[in-house]
Every structure is written in structure tokens, then in C-alpha cells.
Amino acid sequence: MTYKIMAIEELAPKTKMFEVSAPHIAAKVEPGQFVIVILSEEGERIPLTICDYDKEKGTVSFAFHEVGKTTKELGKLQVGDVLANLTGPLGNPSEIKNYGKVLCVGGSVMIAPLLLQVKAMKEAGNNVTTILGARIQDGLLMREKAKSLSDKVYLATDDGSFGYKGLDFLVEILKNEKFDRCVVMGPVVMMKEVSEITKPYAIPTIVTATPIMIDGMGMCGVCRVTVSGKMLFGCVDGPEFDGHKVDFDELVQRQRLFLPEERVSSLLWEKNIGGCKCGRHKA
């Protein structure tokens, strides 16, 4: 199997979307699932959520933000380059049905996969309100696509330099409008905040947990997430969980377990920049 990069779209600075040839994954994938990308034979495995697919062309797309060694290395690849491996589709698909009124909230790079859910929720007959949030305006990805798919769109930045300031305005929305379901994909702090806001209104709130993963198949136990006091695995029990029951503080703590090692690895790679040495990729 050849996992060739067919198209690259720059969504924002250091944020790209790749369309990759993977017919066997495209044939089975559903919204909410993810792939594990291995860039080169020596590379680590990183999970990325599928944000689009084309069953006829046999391609899947994922978007990533360049935060560490592997995502920075991925950001250097070009159309025509080939990934060493793509495993998937992994995780459980989202529960898509006609709930009535659905609130979809996406943060930063996770706006891209959120829009796949927005599309699916619309196709299932829901009225969809979408909120896009990011630290700064540049991070509010794919605004036009969000507008074309949703009944209503709100934009927010952390400092209010574009759109609403933070998520306080959501409280006001919920005082006036009733929602039957909320879907949140974004940084853990954002998913926690939205879940706290929706809880008093008893809106079922689904979050996508992004713990560190290795195999993505339930074998290594690295991706533990505590939900209602029970230990679950992000990869096989999730990645979506009830946001009112997830222990977000533990999730953040576990995501940061290897921060010093990740920083060293990223710095060493930057010093040695020149890309992958496996021969599959252009210099």
C-alpha cells in the first residue's frame, strides 16, 4: 500500500491539511474516527482525526498543527511524498442521528474534523449552530466552510481581538436557546470549559479525548482516560466520551507526562533539520 500525499492545503500558519491516498481506510471510515500516521520507518506513531474522505477517489484527509518533532517533520512534506504507514480507521465513529438542535464547538486545528461532524449532523436533519474558537484570528480555520454547512456560526478568540472574547457568550446563548446535543473538539481546556457551561442545562455533551497514544488498538494502555471514575482507553472506548463525566484535569496531566523529552526531541530535530533520511521523501 502506498500512502501518497495527493494534496496539501495550508489552513493557517503551521497548520496544514493533507489528502492522502488510502483506499482501504476511505472505504470504511466514518466521522469521529482517527488514523495513526507513521512518517518514516524510524518515526513515531501519531494519532490524527480524519477531517474528510472521498470513498470514490480512495483518499482520507487530516489536519495537523505543528507542535512537536513529528508534526513539524510532517509539515515539511510535499505533494507526491509518501508516508511510511497509515493505520485506520481507528476509534468508534460518532453517534450521528436526528437529535433536533445541535451545538458544535471546535477549537484551533480540531475545527477541521469538527466540520465533518457538522456536515454529518446537518445531513441527519439537525439544525446546527457552530462555534469556532481559537487563541487568535488566524486560528479560526475554515470559516467559510463552517458558514456553508451550519445554520448559524459564532466566532470567538481568547482575547476578543476577533469575534467574541472567550466563551462567556455561550452562557447567554444557552439562556435563550435550547439544544439537544453538544459536540466539542478542541484543546482539553476548551472541552472542559464547554462541558462545565452545558452541564447546568443538561445538554448531552460529547468531547473527543486526545490522550497520548501508541498502538491505538487497546494493547499498550497508554491512552487511559478516567470517565465517571472508571478507567477507559481513549483508542478503543473512545475517542468520544461524555464531557460531563471526563476527568479533564487528569487528561491534561497525562498529556504533559513527557513534555521535557518532547521539547528535547523537537530541538534536536530542528538543529538537524534536513528532513527524514529514509529516502522516501524529498530533501
Q: Which residues bind ligand FAD (CB under 6 A)?
A: 34, 46-49, 62-65, 67-71, 109, 113, 210-213, 234, 239, 255-256, 259, 262, 265-266
Q: If you ran DSSP here, which 8-state letter would residue 145 be given?
A: H
- All 3 cell numbers of residue 282? 524529498
Applying CB under 6 A, the site for ligand FES has a residue count of 13
The answer to whether the CB of 102 falls within 8 A of the CB of 183 is yes
CA distance 122 to 265: 42
Give dist(CA 148, CA 138) in Å, integer: 19
Note whether 235 and 223 are within 8 A (CB): yes
Cβ-based nearer residue to ligand FES, 233 or 248: 233
d(CA 6, CA 224): 34
Q: Show the binding pattern over residues 232-251: x = contacts ligand FES (CB under 6 A), - = does not.
A: -xxx----------------
Q: Which three cell numbers stand for residue 164?
A: 467574541
219 binds ligand FES (CB under 6 A): yes
- Closest CB 178 distance from ligand FAD, rounded Å: 30
196 vs 215 by CB, closer to ligand FES: 215
Nearest distance from C-beta of residue 265 to ligand FAD, angstroms:
6
In whole angstroms, the minimum distance from the beta carbon of 179 to ligand FAD comes to 24
Name the residue whose CB lies closest to ligand FAD: 68
Q: What's the closest the beta carbon of residue 185 comes to ligand FAD, in angstroms?
A: 8
188-198 helix and 168-176 helix, angle to the nearest 10 degrees: 30
- CA atoms lying within 13 Å on the CB side of residue 42: 8
Quick one: which of 180, 215, 247, 262 contacts ligand FES (CB under 6 A)?
Answer: 215
Q: Is 115 in the site for ligand FES (CB under 6 A)?
A: no
